[in-house]
Structure 1
């Protein structure tokens, strides 16, 4: 089987400093004001650039809005993908899945990502194409990356996965538990880290109960 080339795709998005500056300012203003109440003038002021500079990089406010939040989805996807590419299957599968799961949930619960889903959910009716774009570049891409990681464990015989993609989706959802929904309502537990660890522990237990393979038994001693 051919695995992804680790050098084929970068682990970080590449934008000009000016474009990144504009996107950072736009993300802040859209997050505070929403799409309708935000003006390009406000974005330019927050980013510390001229209005003309904003239009040199983005056609209009709608294009800027989509670019702003699709970048967040890309950064989330790439952060997980790079973690998985660097996590070659080794040692016991339980601790390995625990580490990957905790990293995944920490990414999903990052304030910028929580704000991304809150802000874009409010604008899906206005921009129906935004939902499809963010799903494909965010969750769908993360499911695929997780599936490829789990496939490597399957190839080693540590997992028995009849449908690798479905297993990737299931592990992703199990790890989030109720924490992603709670984040949308602002009712995450404090401190958060113990809740992440416990939620992922339950996820790993359930996942291995469904897909784990028995460890080889030690050879019986000869009399």
Structure 2
């Protein structure tokens, strides 16, 4: 059924990418750059943030005008900065200004 197909898609694409990102986060935690208690949850949070409102508007057909590259770039930058601030190690500023 469609549930099995959706599960296969999840395992072949998004789950693999999320697991790779979790591995990256684990290495950053071990290096003292990030402080994350639940790495798998943080990886899932990151991808939910990344999709964000722009993706939701497109899914709902609420986006009257095409999304510009500038909007996408601003969203990506804001998402990465938000995530890094949330999980930055107190010992490391992760390249962010206070």
CA separation of 1:188 and 1:167: change in aligned 2, threshold 3 A: farther
**Matching residue of 2:83:** 207
Where does the alignment leave 5 or more consecutive residues of structure 2 unmatched? Answer: 94-98
**Matching residue of 1:196:** 72
Q: Distance in 1 between matches of 2:89 and 2:43?
A: 17
Residue deviations 1:144-190 (CA, integer Å, cap 9, x gap): 11111112211211101111111111111112212222333372754
> Secondary structure at the residue paired with 2:55?
helix
Structure 1 residue ranges (4+ consecutive) displaced by more than 4 angstroms after TM superposition: none
CA separation of 1:195 and 1:154: change in aligned 2, threshold 3 A: same
Per the normalisation by structure 2, the TM-score is: 0.74
- Give 1:163's match in structure 2, choosing from 30, 34, 38: 38
Shift of 1:208: 2.1
Residue deviations 1:51-78 (CA, integer Å, cap 9, x gap): xxxxxxxxxxxxxxxxxxxxxxxxxxxx
Greater RCO, 1 or 2 (C-alpha within 8 Å, sep 6+): 2
- Give 1:150's match in structure 2, choosing from 25, 31, 34: 25
Answer with 199-208 or 182-191: which moved more.
182-191
Structure ID, larger Rg: 1
**Matching residue of 1:139:** 14
Residue deviations 1:19-45 (CA, integer Å, cap 9, x gap): xxxxxxxxxxxxxxxxxxxxxxxxxxx
| C-alpha RMSD over aligned residues | 2.4
Give the number of aligned pairs. Answer: 92
Per the normalisation by structure 1, the TM-score is: 0.36
